[in-house]
């Protein structure tokens, strides 16, 4: 029996970590809380098995979820063991499965030089197949067929094992059979097939199964809570009867159920391996005591947890700030003000992270950062105006403004699909080259001469009429109404709404956010007065300026990799990262937790709560939770309720703030509070009006737009924005500091 204090292999570990590293040779389930040093424990466990138990590194198989994590693990091990571990079996599920199949291609029924398909390759193959089979991709998009095939593979089901539920599934299943046949004939293996084929190889070849079960005395798997059904079956098969498995994970950080992860795997581990010993790593080395107490209080609302409570021997830290913004612009301005203060006090921009539930939320945040001149980087994703669905919508608008924009024409001619194939497009391109025309004029020419086939002619004619109709409508519509008509009438909204899961919903949210962005659009150049040509732009002129600025936003403002820049990312992307100053934005019912989760039931709601827990534990020192009293969604103001998640955090850890004022909840439950002395964002805006003898509901006169009534105000000081309904003109947003308004009563 080795004392936990008598070996250098355990130096620097806390008592719980040391117990895991020096555990006897048995199955282990390690509940490793956020910031508890689990990577170090994994590495030291392997070193212990090699140095103390006498195992060869080649008797150990380590599974991670990213190639980067596998490389880092191998590098740490090489530094400690002093030998090259290039051939050690350490990698991702897909990488290790690929290695197994390359080694035993013949037994797996594969050609020696089989090819691996990535997601785009698989999509291209299915596209050709569906076209040959005359599959109706307008009613049932290709991505639905691809999702059906991959989901069944990840559940371990070949086409012959699938029981079709209804007519649509029967259609998809038929294509699954054809796809399998094509892949076998051509020697192709997609990502899901790598795991499924590797599992079948071990299951159906006893000699190989026994060989690898004997070879790998210990299996270690990281992020176990994120395994799906197929991956868990892969691990159990490889472990066998004599091997040992160490699963490291955290059921409180299981946030990928929407892409197949099964939280049940970690919950059932001790049932599947009755001899397994459960360890908990609860000491956190990242966050303050306040942040950990808030996270613990929140996650206790989930049922069926394996249970743990994070703690630290570090500082208690400041309370968590909760900011109730008037709307998303006020929310973004507040965040920018805090970041600028952080920088003035000597902090780095890269220490600041803005986290959000939906990609669509980044638009208002990006806009505020741009206007403040703060460089930023969207981590693990695309900036708002670079996203595919946004570029598609902007391409329609560009084509309305300029019919000679061939790039826009090619982007949207068959998006959504209209049955315009490559043959027709090549004919258009050839005619355009021969006649020195743009693609739009070439289309009109070929339609006029009857040079296109009946189906192609009908599709091209429909597209031309759509653009002409949208252009004609835009002459009498406001800018945001024009954009709203485009995303609806082009079919882009329905096209992306038909996508299953989070990706489709995110694209719909982004398109809706584009409409909101245009409704609040102000030219980036400074407004110098009523005669400024960029003030109160209307119609086609406004659309042209907006498209120009959107194009600039999509290009030059992304910070360089080595530049000190604010970090923006979704909460899912933030997992595994940490920052001194964190903002979790849009903490509102229907946004976070997301409306889809609320509609799908308690399991999804619990996953949303785990996602909030992950977000909170990204913060090292300072955490802000922000929510808006109203948020413009699809061009309409929606009144929001702050998220239940804020209410589930024990009140003693929260401190509510308002712009230029604050109110604290008690730090101890027994302490009494006085009446809050703060002003809401709406009150601040009204105070700014009062300084100029104005108020909500007042009639005013404007020298250009005539008489109107002030309907709404937001912001503060000269930046206050007013929504005014002018007689015969309609509603206009004006900036108080630059609007020459005369009170009439």
Residues annotated catalytic, as ranges: 38-39, 222-223, 253, 618
Backbone angles phi, psi at 136, to 5 degrees: -80, 85
Give the whole-angstrom CA distance, residue 554 versus residue 471.
Answer: 24
Task: Give the three-state DSSP class for 419.
Answer: coil
The conformation of residue 591, written as its DSSP 8-state character, comes to B
- The residue with tokens 């409180």 is 252
Q: Within 13 A of 681's CA, how many CA atoms are on the CB side?
A: 24
Give the whole-angstrom CA distance, residue 262 versus residue 225.
Answer: 7
Sorted by sequence, the CB contacts under 8 Å of residue 369 that are 6+ apart come out as 332, 336, 375, 376, 566
Sign of the CA dihedral 496, 497, 500, 503?
Answer: positive
Task: Examine residue 593 and say whether the peptide bond preceding it is cis (omega within 30 degrees of 0).
Answer: yes
CB atoms within 10 A of CB 617: 29
Task: Give the three-state DSSP class for 283.
Answer: strand
Sorted by sequence, the CB contacts under 8 Å of residue 363 that are 6+ apart come out as 384, 510, 513, 514, 516, 517
Cα 575 → chain centroid: 11
Burial 496-515 (b: 16+ CB within 10 A, else e): bebbeebebbbbbbbbbbbb
CA distances from 315 to 292, 580, 623 (A): 11, 14, 15
Work out whether strand 188-190 and strand 115-117 pair parallel, antiparallel, or are unpaired.
parallel
Partners of 721 in the β-ladder: 714, 735
Angle, helix 191-204 to helix 229-239, in steps of 10 degrees: 30
- Tell me the helix, strand and coil percentages in the chain, rounded to 5: 50, 15, 35
- Residue 247 host element (H or E): strand 244-249
CB atoms within 10 A of CB 533: 11
> Is there a contact between 321 and 625 (Cβ–Cβ < 8 Å)?
yes
Give the whole-angstrom CA distance, residue 35 versus residue 310.
Answer: 9
- When computed from its CA atoms, the radius of gyration of the chain, rounded to whole angstroms, is 30
Q: Is 664 exposed, middle or buried (0-12, 13-18, 19+ CB in 10 A)?
A: middle
Report angle CA 165, 167, 172 to the nearest 5 degrees.
80
Give the whole-angstrom CA distance, residue 254 versus residue 263.
Answer: 6
Give the whole-angstrom CA distance, residue 478 versus residue 519.
Answer: 9
Structure tokens at 658: 């308002």
Cα 234 → chain centroid: 28
Structure tokens at 443: 């289309």
Give the whole-angstrom CA distance, residue 395 versus residue 391.
Answer: 6
CA distances from 417 to 197, 256, 638 (A): 34, 30, 33
Give the whole-angstrom CA distance, residue 460 versus residue 454.
Answer: 10
> Is there a contact between 179 and 126 (Cβ–Cβ < 8 Å)?
yes
Task: Give the three-state DSSP class for 381.
Answer: coil
Give the whole-angstrom CA distance, residue 44 versus residue 281.
Answer: 14
Structure tokens at 372: 């403040």
Task: Give the three-state DSSP class for 626.
Answer: strand
Backbone angles phi, psi at 165, to 5 degrees: -105, 95
């Amino acid at each position: 029996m080795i004392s936990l204090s008598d070996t250098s292999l355990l130096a620097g570990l806390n008592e719980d970590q040391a117990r895991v590293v020096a555990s006897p040779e048995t199955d282990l389930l390690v509940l490793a809380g956020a910031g508890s040093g689990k990577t170090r424990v994994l590495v030291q466990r392997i070193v212990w098995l090699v140095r103390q138990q006498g195992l060869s590194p080649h008797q150990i198989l380590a599974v991670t979820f990213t190639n980067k994590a596998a490389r880092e693990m191998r590098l740490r091990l090489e530094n400690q063991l002093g030998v090259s571990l290039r051939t050690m079996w350490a990698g991702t599920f897909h990488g290790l499965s690929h290695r197994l199949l390359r080694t035993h291609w013949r037994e797996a029924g594969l050609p020696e030089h089989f090819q691996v398909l990535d997601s785009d390759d698989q999509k291209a193959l299915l596209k050709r197949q569906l076209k040959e089979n005359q599959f109706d991709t307008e009613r049932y998009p290709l991505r639905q067929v691809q999702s059906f095939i991959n989901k069944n593979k990840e559940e371990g089901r070949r086409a012959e094992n699938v029981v079709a539920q209804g007519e649509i599934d029967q259609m998809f299943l038929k294509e699954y059979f054809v796809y399998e046949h094509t892949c076998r004939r051509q020697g192709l293996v997609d990502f899901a097939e790598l795991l499924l084929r590797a599992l079948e190889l071990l299951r159906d070849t006893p000699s190989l199964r026994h060989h690898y079960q004997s070879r790998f005395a210990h299996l270690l798997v990281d992020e176990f809570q994120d395994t799906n059904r197929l991956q868990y079956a892969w691990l159990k098969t490889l472990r066998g009867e004599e091997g040992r498995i160490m699963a490291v994970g955290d059921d409180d950080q299981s946030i990928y159920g929407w892409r197949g992860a099964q939280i049940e795997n970690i919950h059932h581990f001790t049932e599947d391996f009755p001899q397994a010993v459960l360890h908990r790593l609860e000491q956190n080395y990242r966050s303050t005591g306040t942040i950990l107490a808030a996270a613990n209080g929140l996650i206790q609302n989930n049922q069926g947890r394996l249970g743990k409570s994070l703690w630290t021997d570090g500082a208690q830290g400041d309370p968590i700030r909760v900011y109730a913004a008037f709307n998303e612009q006020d929310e973004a301005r507040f965040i920018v003000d805090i970041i600028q203060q952080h920088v003035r006090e000597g902090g780095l921009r890269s220490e600041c992270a803005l986290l959000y539930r939906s990609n669509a939320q980044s638009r208002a945040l990006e806009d505020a950062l741009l206007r403040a001149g703060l460089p930023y980087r969207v981590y693990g994703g695309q900036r708002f105006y670079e996203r595919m669905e946004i570029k598609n919508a902007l391409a329609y608008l560009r084509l309305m403004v300029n019919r000679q924009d061939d790039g826009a024409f090619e982007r949207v001619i068959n998006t959504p699909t209209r049955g315009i194939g490559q043959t027709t497009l090549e004919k258009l391109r050839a005619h355009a080259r021969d006649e020195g025309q743009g693609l739009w004029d070439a289309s009109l020419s070929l339609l006029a001469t009857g040079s296109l086939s009946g189906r192609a002619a009908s599709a091209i004619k429909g597209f031309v009429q759509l653009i002409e109709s949208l252009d004609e409508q835009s002459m009498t519509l406001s800018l945001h109404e024009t954009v709203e008509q485009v995303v609806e009438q082009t079919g882009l909204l329905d096209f992306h709404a038909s996508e299953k899961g989070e990706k489709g919903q995110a694209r719909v949210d982004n398109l809706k956010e584009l409409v909101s962005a245009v409704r609040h659009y102000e030219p980036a150049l400074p407004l110098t007065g009523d005669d400024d040509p960029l003030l109160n732009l209307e119609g086609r002129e406004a659309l042209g300026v907006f498209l120009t600025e959107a194009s600039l936003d999509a290009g030059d403002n992304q910070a360089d990799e080595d530049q000190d820049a604010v970090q923006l990312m979704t909460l899912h992307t933030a997992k595994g990262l940490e920052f001194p100053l964190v903002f979790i934005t849009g903490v509102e019912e229907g946004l976070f937790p997301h409306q889809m989760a609320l509609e799908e039931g308690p399991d999804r709601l619990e996953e949303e709560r785990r996602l909030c827990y992950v977000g909170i534990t990204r913060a090292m020192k300072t955490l802000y939770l922000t929510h808006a009293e109203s948020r413009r969604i699809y061009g309409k103001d929606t009144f929001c309720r702050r998220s239940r998640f804020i209410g589930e955090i024990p009140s003693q850890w929260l401190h509510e703030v308002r712009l230029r004022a604050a109110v604290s909840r008690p730090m101890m439950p027994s302490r009494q509070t006085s009446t809050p002395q703060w002003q809401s964002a709406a009150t601040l805006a009204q105070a700014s009006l009062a300084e100029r003898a104005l108020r909500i509901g007042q009639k005013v006169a404007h020298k250009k737009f005539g008489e109107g009534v002030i309907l709404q105000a937001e912001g503060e000081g000269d930046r206050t924005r007013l929504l005014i309904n002018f007689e015969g003109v309609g509603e206009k947003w004006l900036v108080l500091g630059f609007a020459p308004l005369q009170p009439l009563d």
